[in-house]
Every structure is written in structure tokens, then in C-alpha cells.
Amino acid sequence: MFQSFDESARPEQGPPRLAALREDLARDGLTGFVVPRADAHQGEYVAPRDTRLSWLTGFTGSAGFACVLPHIAGVFIDGRYRTQVKGQVDLDHFTPVPWPDLSLAEWLRGQLPNGGIVGFDPWLHTAEEIAKIEEALAGTAITLRAVSNAVDRIWPDQPAPPAGLITPYPEDLAGEAHHAKRTRLAVGLRNAGQTAAVITLADSIAWLLNIRGTDIPRNPVPHGFAILHDTGKLTLYTDPAKCDDALRAHLGDEVTLRPVEAFGPGLRSLTGPVRVDRATAPLWVSQELAEAGVACVWGQDPCIMPKATKTSAEIAATTEAHLRDAAAMVEFLTWFDAQPAGSLTEIDVATALEGFRRASNALRDISFETIAGTGPNGAIMHYRVSRSSNARLEQGHLIVVDSGGQYLDGTTDITRTLPVGDVGEDEKACFTRVLQGMIGVSQLRFPKGLAGRDIDAIARAPLWAAGLDFNHGTGHGVGVYLCVHEGPQRISRVSDVPLQPGMILSNEPGYYREGAFGIRIENLIVVREAPALAGADDRAMYTFDTLTWVPIDRRLILPAMLGSTERAWLNGYHAACLEKIAPRISDAARLWLTQATAPL
């Protein structure tokens, strides 16, 4: 299997490792050290070598950081992980900090009233991140200092850097040759008066060069750094062992391969001005340029917006991947409903679902660790089942199943909440409100120029009406055989990036009652231009096309709560699920699907 159920958190190892880190910091004259959940490529997921935060603290979430001081070690976690962290760290030695409600600078002000020197690794933090912290610390005696990584020094068996083979990605799926992409972006550099751009995001490099890799679990990207020149030529800095003859032939003469060790000298040899993304590139990059006297200008990674707005070929490819994935999901749901109540565990559910995806013979990997949380575990938003936490599905409980697949032609992400036997009216009412929010976003028509923050409230309004809410964004961007969490597009109250045709997003409102149950419903959607309406204003309007075609469990819906347009949307959606998926599944699954998609 792709998914492992071994327990990766080691809370009991935290105290001795914390003590060793504090001794190391004292020898270096440091008051503290920041340990992020990040690597030099600022991706959400990291290779085993870069799991410093979980190695030190036991916390395995995909976002957060720690700050170790002589008298306290704070673990900063957002709303998704405030339940999870309590069971993964030694609370006698590590203190959860509600972030971003409480910022690092504010916390440091309270913990170090007399000042101190807090170290950080400039490879693991962006220039923007450090600048904001330093600005917030202005007027205090607290200083930040770029140092070598203190965790690496005390980690005796730290894994080696990943070295997976880099492979070409088919041009017919990408929709554009990498030569054309490089040429197009180079024009933008010349128009801006810039001689080069430094690219450090792994998925940006993968997209730009039409390549994929295996350096990061669940995300088919290779590690490396790139310098794109205003001529369209590019230098890729990566481990030569990852590059075979097929890759070299694919890249051609305009892409030069260099080892990672040559990245620093390569930066120092440039003639400015050089574009650096202060929000994604390691601070180390701009420090190297400054020390060499190379002019550095801040600007967004030139790949980010083109990568986010998919080509027609990418949308066609991922549409097929989603239909294939939906067929696997329907086979799984057919199997699930046939199991006696109380006979399954969470691991059984995750194992079976992966098996149905594997049966397609097209699955390259799962797109993230399957979340299969029943009862109270369902209230842990990013719950990862382990052998020690594995719970049995009990009569009257819900189970949240959030999963996805990585296929050559697309990346999927779907959540369905399922009942185990009969569930309570309260759970059904909450489920129906979550469904209303998901439908509201799905059928939305909106003016060009709106961002995710303008749409987020639509998913929450039915919950707000009952005094309820959820502590995560409504949606994130999704790649095409790339990262399942892709920026900059998202549906969130903090997102100011205007949505554009071709952007793929998740639509996943939820509700979580700690210690009781969780609910989430998720489809993927793609932004497109809205069809013209008679009598409408002469203005550009957008809407969403749905990519995910799997029934929503009608047993959890209170029909009387739905309005006529909501009911019509749901019945239309289910009719489309039947039409699109029925030809792709077994006879037993087709019978199940026919019943599951009956009009409400």
C-alpha cells in the first residue's frame, strides 16, 4: 500500500531531544531557535530529511512550527490541528500556541521581556516571513540571527536528501511544450527589465519544464532550484543522479543541468536585476545575491499564475482522471454499504478505498494520507489513522472519508461523510447545512475580479445561521498531477487572489464537534466563463464547473431544510453522476449507484 498506518509521532522522544537542542543553542550563545515545518522549497509536504518539527516535537501536521527557548518550547498550530497536537506532543515539555491568533513576535515579546537572540535557518524561511517578524519585534531587545540548522546538528540518523529519478511529463497532457513556456515567461522578464528569475518551488519547476519526480511523498515533484534567464534558457540545479538520458533529451540544449552545490556560485555569477519571490524563496537566496553585489528585485515566481490557470489540455486530462476516480469511489461506497454495522475499522476503510483506486491500474500514488475518521476522530480535521488510534465504526456514528489519487492525467481530492447505521437528527441537520454551503458555492455565478475571500462566506452562511462554523478554508487550489494543495488560488477569508478561468479549487465546507463527530463534503471545481444570460449586464461573469461526480449520501440529508434551487441542484448533480459513472463500474456498483442517485 501507499499508506502506512504506523505511528510516526514519538512524544516520548521529545524531552531528550529538546534538552539536546537547548544545550546546543547555549553553546552557540543563542536564546532560542525556530523549527519550521518547511524545507528549502517551501512546500506543504517535506521529505523525511526535512521532518525536523515532527522529529523534535512529535507533531506531524502539515503546517506549524516550534520555537524553543530556555524555559518554554512553543508549538504553533492553526485551527486545523488544535485537537491533534494535544495527542502528539509531550504537554509537560511542549506548549501548544494558537497561531496565527498569536504571532511568533507577540509570543516572543511576552516570553523574552529582557530580549535575546533567536536563531533561524535562512534556507527554511522566506525573506517576507523574516521581515514581518523583525518588523513586529521593532523596539524590543529581541533579535533574529541567521545560523546553521541546530536541529540537524543533534539529529544523528537524519535521512539523506531524496534522490528520485526525474521523468518527462507528456506534452499532450500539459498542453504546452516547456520551450514555449520558458519563452513566454522570458518575455515577461525582459518587459520588466529583469535579466533572470530564481525559481525555488518544486511544483513551479516541474510545471515549467514538464517534468515530474518522486522526491516528496504524495506529490510528484523533484527537488531542485532553477534560474530562468531573459533569453528563455534555464539552469536546473539538482542531483545529477536523478537525470538519465531520457530526461536530458527531453530538456534539450537550452536547459543546463548543474549539481545543487553549484547553485550559490550560479547566483553570484548573475548580472542583475534578478527577480526573487520574497514570499517563496529562501532568505538565503537574496542574501547570496546581496553579498555578491547582484541587484535583487522582489517579484512573484513567474510560474505561479500560469501554473494555476490550466490549459484546455490539462482540464480535459484531469476531467478524465476524476471520472476514473469517481468510478473507484462508487465501487468503494458499494462495498462499504454491504458491510455489517460494527464490522469495520478506520484502517479497513482506508485500505479498501486504496484498493479500489489501485484496481484502475492507473494510480501512481494517493494524493495525501487518507483521512478516515469516525466518531470523535472525525472531529480532527486532518486526522491520520494509525494502528494505535484505529477505531471501530460504531452504530450511529459518522465517518469522514477524505482522500484522493495521483494519476498521470490528474490529481483528485474528494470528501464524503457516511453514516454507520442510523444517526441522530442533530448530525443530519449539521450535514444538511454543510451541504447547503457546498451547493451555494457550486451554483454560484460571480463577476470577474472576485477573490476567494469574496466567496468564502457563501459556504458558511447556512452554518452561521445556526451559530456554527468551521476552522479551515473553504477551498484550496489543486494541480494536475502535481500538488494537491496548490496556490495561489483558494476560497478563504484571507485570499485576495482574483479567480480566473482554468483555476481548479476544492469546495469543502465542514463542521466539527470536538469529542463527538465531524462532517465534510468536498468536490473539486474549475473556474470558467459563465454563459450569457438574456437581459444581463454587459460584464464578464464566471461560474464553476464540477469535476467530482460521486453521490452525496442522501440518508444524512433533511430534505425539508433544502430550498427548491438546492434540491434541484442536488437532483441534477446525482443524475449527472449516474449518467457519467454508470458505464464505468460493475453491475453491483451500477445498482447501488442507481439507488444512491434517486431524486430527493
Contacts 24+ apart (CB under 8 A), 122-125: 122/146, 122/282, 122/283, 122/284, 122/287, 123/40, 123/149, 123/282, 123/283, 123/284, 124/36, 124/38, 124/39, 124/40, 124/149, 124/282, 125/34, 125/36, 125/38, 125/282, 125/283
Q: Looking at the predicted structure, is the pLDDT value of residue 7 above 80?
A: no
Average pLDDT, the chain: 96
Q: What is the pTM of this model?
A: 0.94
Per-residue confidence band for 567, with pLDDT thresholds at 50, 70 and 90 = very high
Does the domain made of 11-154 have the CATH classification 3.40.350.10? yes
Look at residues 529, 472, 531 and name the one whose alpha carbon lies nearest to residue 506: 472
Task: Map 484-530 to HEC letters.
Answer: CCEEEEEECCCCCCECCCCCEEEECCEEEECCCEEEECEEEEEEEEC
Buried b (16+ CB within 10 A) or exposed e, 63-94: bbbbbbbeebbbbbbbbbbbbbbeebbbeebb
- CATH of region 309-596: 3.90.230.10
DSSP-based three-state secondary structure for 284: helix
Strand partners, 419: 398
pLDDT recorded at residue 8: 67
Topology, domain 167-303: Creatine Amidinohydrolase; Chain A, domain 1 (3.40.350)
- Please answer whether residues 221 and 210 qualify as being in contact, where contact means their C-beta atoms are separated by less than 8 angstroms: no
Per-residue confidence band for 9, with pLDDT thresholds at 50, 70 and 90 = low
Q: Over the stretch 499-529, which tens digit does the pLDDT of each residue have? A: 999 999 999 999 999 999 999 999 999 999 9
Q: Over the stretch 148-161, which tens digit does the pLDDT of each residue have? A: 999 999 999 999 99
**Neighbouring residues of 492: CB distance < 8 A, sequence distance ≥ 6:** 452, 453, 456, 473, 474, 475
Same topology between domain 167-303 and domain 309-596: no
d(CA 431, CA 436): 9
How would DSSP label each residue in 544-569? EEE-------GGG--GGGS-HHHHHH
d(CA 54, CA 46): 11
Q: Over the stretch 95-144, which tens digit does the pLDDT of each residue have? A: 989 998 999 999 999 999 999 999 999 999 999 999 999 999 999 999 99
And the C-alpha cell for 132?
514581518
The mean pLDDT value for 520-549 works out to 96
- Please answer whether residues 5 and 385 qualify as being in contact, where contact means their C-beta atoms are separated by less than 8 angstroms: yes
Residue linked to cell 480566473: 500
Q: Over the stretch 28-87, which tens digit does the pLDDT of each residue have? A: 999 999 999 999 999 888 999 999 999 999 998 888 999 999 999 999 998 888 878 888
- Please answer whether residues 213 and 247 qualify as being in contact, where contact means their C-beta atoms are separated by less than 8 angstroms: no
Residue ranges per structural domain of the chain: 11-154, 167-303, 309-596
pLDDT recorded at residue 82: 81
